[in-house]
Structure 1
Amino acid sequence: MARRPERYSILYEGDFGLSALAGELSTTDHSPDETVSLHLAGEIAALAEGEGAVELGVDVRCLLDSPLADDDVRTVWLAATQGRFDPAQCESGVRGWLRRLAEHLPEPESERAADQGWSVRPTIDEEELRTAVATEIRTSAGALGRRVADSGHVAPPSGALAESLEAVVRQGDGDLGLRFLLGMLKAYDVPVGKDQYDRLMALGTALGFPGPLVYDGLNVLWPPIDPARRDASGDFGFSALTWWFEGAWQEDTARERVRRAAAADDSAQTPGSAAALLLTDTQRLLGSSLPSRTIETLWLSATARGYNIDRIGTDARDWLRLIGSLCEERLKEASPCYRHTAPPTRTGPREAVLGLVRETAPLLRDVSISPHWEPIPGPAALAAVEEVAAHVDADLGFRMLLRLLRVVSPSLTEEQYGRFHELGRRFGYGDAHVTEVLDL
């Protein structure tokens, strides 16, 4: 049967469907039997105000309607539940148990309301998906097989688990097969290299999975923290911190907000990377020849006066020192052995950044930031950004220019928009970086 495209991340925070049922059966305090499995299936079906029944029904029927051998389904299910539930022990066998599940689930014709937008997620061709998931199964086959055997929960013949899981993908459903694979990698603590992790995240994104379904509990072999890497999909460093202070952020203290920003690693980043990138920008500003007044203007304009260090009497460099110390605290927690070394400053694209600064100057000529309370003239804000690009770091200068444009929201031509994207690519920014800032 065909699976309808869904935007799962709108409905769920984590796993769903049969793979979620397997996870529940593997950890339940009860002794799992058919009755317990049906009860837990009811709980999975009730997810997202009852929408969970749709995905569970599709998963069940993908297996029922497939030519899969019962032994393949059983092998995968035993591994997914860590040996705690064997459907072959049910009175009606593997397919009989699946039919019992299907009796309580909606038919595939049950469609969600068209106006909910659940059918507009990014799609991936089914054959492309099957091939990609099969590749990841083979990548992890050896380590997964050893971990399953060492667990003592279930000991399928050598290679049988990977072969059965690939059969589920090839003959059943690639979406379900990927979720089974992810669940097993987590359940047996199988190490996953960064390259494979990135591929799994890309597949999850293409399928509309909520991020935690992929990364929560996954044993990723992260590379060392490196502030020269550009793994994040969006903004980072000092420019990203200003976003945390824009608008109504007063639910916590300034110190706590910096801590949160320093710990806000992108799902593609080695834990601690957000703090290392913020520390790099902070140290560069601290060690620069920029007057404190210029740094103050930079901060106030990029936050739209969200945190008025001038009104509370905090010197801009003192504020930077506090930010730096909080980043160091986070780094000690995330990677105690890490010793921070800033990468070389980016000077190559400096003229390109300064060119964009000059090009956008007319757009800010008559603009005031925070116009109703101690306004900051647009030209003064842009001059502070220009000083950063010219005398501190072109990368940071470009990111601060993007932030300033986010605050003032000028109208950009398609040609100008394209030049910002091109320069973002030169700096190695993630796909969403320029888009999330400029797409207002």
Structure 2
Amino acid sequence: MTGRQERYYVDYDADFGLSGLTEMFALSPAPGDIGAALGLVTAKLDAYDLECPVFGVDHLDPDERSILGFDVSHDEWGYADDLREDVRGLVDSPLADEAILTVWRAAAGGVWDPAAHGMSARDWLRRVDGICAARPPRRAPGRRPAPSALWGHRPPPADEVRDDVVAEIRFCRERSAGALPSPDTLGALEEVAARVPELGFRLLLRVLQVHSVRIEKEWYDRLQALAERFSHSAALVRSGLDIVWPPIDPARRDTTWDFGLSGLTGKAHQDWRASREEIRSAADGDDIGQTPGSAAAVLLEDTLRLLGSALPDAALAALWAGASGMREAVEGRDWLRLVADVCRERLREVAPAYTLVVVPARTELADVVLREVREVAPAVADKFASPHWRPVPAADVMDALEHVVTRIDPDLGFRLFLRVLIELSVPLSQEQYDRYGAIGERIGYGEYHVSDVDYLIETR
């Protein structure tokens, strides 16, 4: 790209490189010969034409990309480059050929064994490399998964991350229950991880998927933490693993962001129509560490608390306007009943045995939260929620918040309060923000929940 020095990074939401190729083989009918096997390699590369977003250019249309030098071409985002890097990491290593072959067989589900067709592991990988080499070079420079560099994250120390990947392989070897890969497979995988830990980690995930190894929540969380250090997508870990999820518990706070009814208000925008589909999107929004159905269960609990309260419909509408900034009014309890219906629909699909019991709200923080609401109320007395369309006096919003905090649920009230701060653009002092963070910590909010309002802090 002439005159442009900015770097761009490919962001794969699914598996990629050699581990992604083994997935292709594991999910395909067994190739009858080498030609058919190499055809699967070509098909894998073709499948990624224009499918992987690139940070900095994925918003451009094809004509704009072409003007900037990003021609819409075969394998534009360079899956072949990533596959070649993985291949070279094994071919050029001192690993025994048998160790490489063992890992390939296991990760590919035994669908394709190069040795049965007269090839060593390195012979096979060199044939794969030849197909990749014939592809045009990556149009977007920069090795995947470089998004970490965009956010200023440093790569993990090589020795430290190598030890952690090897430790997860050894943990698998020490297990005594359920389906497990063979000791030979795990031993060979450990050798690979010791040489190329990032590839070893992805191949470990593939082996766990192929062998349907049951993954307890604690183990799953460790795998996700490792993936984050490599800047991998959470979907790379979650997809295909047999995770043993704990029962749904609305009291758990396993999400890093806002959730429940306050999270739903945060998804509203000027074109939002409060439809069943839009509510369903929120009900489906389980975080990476949550049992499937958790988002719907928490949203349902918040909704039922309001439905069963004495809060008037007008106050419910004011609360929604103040927390969402929505131009479109909602019809009090009719709207909440729709939310509840959608949540139950989601739960019937993913957790049919689950029955929500709305437990008494935690009230120990009611006075603390109420003080924060009342401190802000005078500062917004002359403001309006949704000021350009069906304006609602901020005083009505704050009164509704007080009712929620004192008579319904301080946790829900505090979450809605944070949303109101955003919608009313309330300036905050550092001291206020620090207090909000302490409240969020006591309730158990995730890392980025309260920080949604940090931009409101006034600098002096």
Distance 1:195 1:145 in 2: 16
The letter of the residue matching 1:206 is: R
Q: Which stretch shifts more, 97-106 or 298-307? A: 97-106
Deviation of residue 159 (structure 1)?
1.2
Within 5 Å, give how 1:27-426 maps onto structure 2: 27-29=27-29, 31=31, 33-45=33-45, 47=48, 48=52, 49-89=76-116, 91=118, 93-105=120-132, 112-113=140-141, 118=147, 119-120=149-150, 122=153, 123-141=155-173, 147=179, 158-171=182-195, 173-250=196-273, 254-309=275-330, 314=331, 316-426=332-442
What percent identity do the matched residue pairs reach? 41
Query: Is the partner of 1:373 in helix, strand or coil?
Result: coil
- Give per-residue Cα distances to partners, 1:248-298, cap 9 Å, x unaligned: 124xx6233323322322221111211211121122212223222222211
Contact 1:145 1:161 in 2 (8 A): no
Q: How many residues align?
A: 417
Q: Which stretch shifts more, 191-200 or 180-189? A: 180-189
Contact 2:327 2:386 in 1 (8 A): no
Runs of 4+ in 1 over 6 A off after TM superposition: 114-117, 143-146
Deviation of residue 61 (structure 1)?
1.6
Residue 12 of structure 1: aligned partner: 12
Residue 58 of structure 2: aligned partner: none
Task: Pick closer, same or farther for the CA change 1:113–1:418 going to 2, 3 Å.
Answer: farther
Residue 4 of structure 2: aligned partner: none
Show structure 1 runs of 5+ residues with no match. 1-5, 150-157
Contact 1:193 1:220 in 2 (8 A): yes
Distance 1:32 1:398 in 2: 62
Deviation of residue 146 (structure 1)?
6.7
Deviation of residue 206 (structure 1)?
2.2
Distance 1:35 1:84 in 2: 15
- Give per-residue Cα distances to partners, 1:359-390, cap 9 Å, x unaligned: 33354234322222221222322222222112
Distance 1:83 1:115 in 2: 30
Distance 1:115 1:190 in 2: 31
- Give per-residue Cα distances to partners, 1:89-119, cap 9 Å, x unaligned: 4655222332333345469x98954799744
Query: Is the partner of 1:266 in helix, strand or coil?
Result: coil
Distance 1:268 1:7 in 2: 29
Distance 2:370 2:349 in 1: 38
Deviation of residue 202 (structure 1)?
1.7
The letter of the residue matching 1:181 is: L
Task: Pick closer, same or farther for the CA change 1:416–1:346 going to 2, 3 Å.
Answer: same
Query: Is the partner of 2:20 in helix, strand or coil?
Result: helix
Distance 1:397 1:33 in 2: 64
TM-score, length-normalised on structure 1?
A: 0.85
Deviation of residue 164 (structure 1)?
0.9
